[in-house]
């Protein structure tokens, strides 16, 4: 079976490469920011009721930062391509559920304090906001062009 790729598909992909680049920069940048913040704060992990043994510093939560970065920038990018209110509502609900679930799971496992999760969310929110603003200025686009 041959795979035939049209020019339209190729050019559509090329137009989307800046969006893919934004996703990659946000996710990897969030990981680097997390490492820097852990080195600055050097907060020890909780030692009570731990279900999983894990090493390293606690603040901010890397899983929470990664989840917030990935799902929020993904929602931002997909929002622009979804026309229906229902589709957008499902997208936002999915992103929120994933972000909150991952944060709560870290507390449940006993490897983070709630403040670690909140700190991860806030640091990641600042990073994502900075990158989205930079992206929009660079591309000359608004976050929600039809709003």
Summarize pLDDT for 58-103 with one digit per residue, the tens.
Answer: 788 889 999 999 999 999 999 888 888 999 999 999 999 999 999 9
Task: Tell whether the model's pLDDT for residue 141 goes beyond 90.
Answer: no
Question: Given this model, what pLDDT does residue 129 score?
Answer: 95
Average pLDDT, the chain: 83
3-class SS shares of the chain: helix, strand, coil, % to 5: 70, 0, 30
Single out the residue of 123, 37, 16, 32 nearest to residue 72, CA to CA. Answer: 123
- pTM comes to 0.79
Question: Given this model, what pLDDT does residue 13 score?
Answer: 53
* Catalytic residue set: 63, 112
Distant-in-sequence, close-in-space partners of 62: CB < 8 Å, separation ≥ 6: 31, 34, 38, 120
Rounded CA separation 39/120 (Å): 14
Model confidence at 11, pLDDT cuts 50, 70, 90, reads very low
Question: Given this model, what pLDDT does residue 58 score?
Answer: 77
């Amino acid at each position: 079976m041959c795979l035939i790729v049209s020019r339209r598909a190729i050019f559509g992909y090329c137009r989307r490469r800046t969006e893919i680049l934004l996703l990659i920069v946000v996710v990897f940048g969030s990981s680097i920011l997390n490492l820097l913040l852990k080195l600055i704060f050097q907060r020890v992990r909780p030692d009570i009721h731990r279900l999983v043994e894990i090493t390293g510093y606690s603040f901010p939560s890397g899983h929470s930062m990664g989840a917030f970065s990935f799902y929020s920038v993904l929602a931002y990018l997909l929002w622009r391509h979804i026309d229906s209110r229902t589709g957008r509502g499902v997208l936002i609900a999915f992103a929120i559920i994933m972000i909150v679930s991952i944060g709560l799971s870290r507390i449940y496992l006993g490897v983070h304090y709630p403040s670690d999760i909140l700190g991860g969310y806030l640091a990641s929110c600042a990073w994502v906001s900075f990158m989205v603003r930079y992206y929009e200025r660079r591309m000359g686009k608004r976050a929600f062009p039809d709003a």
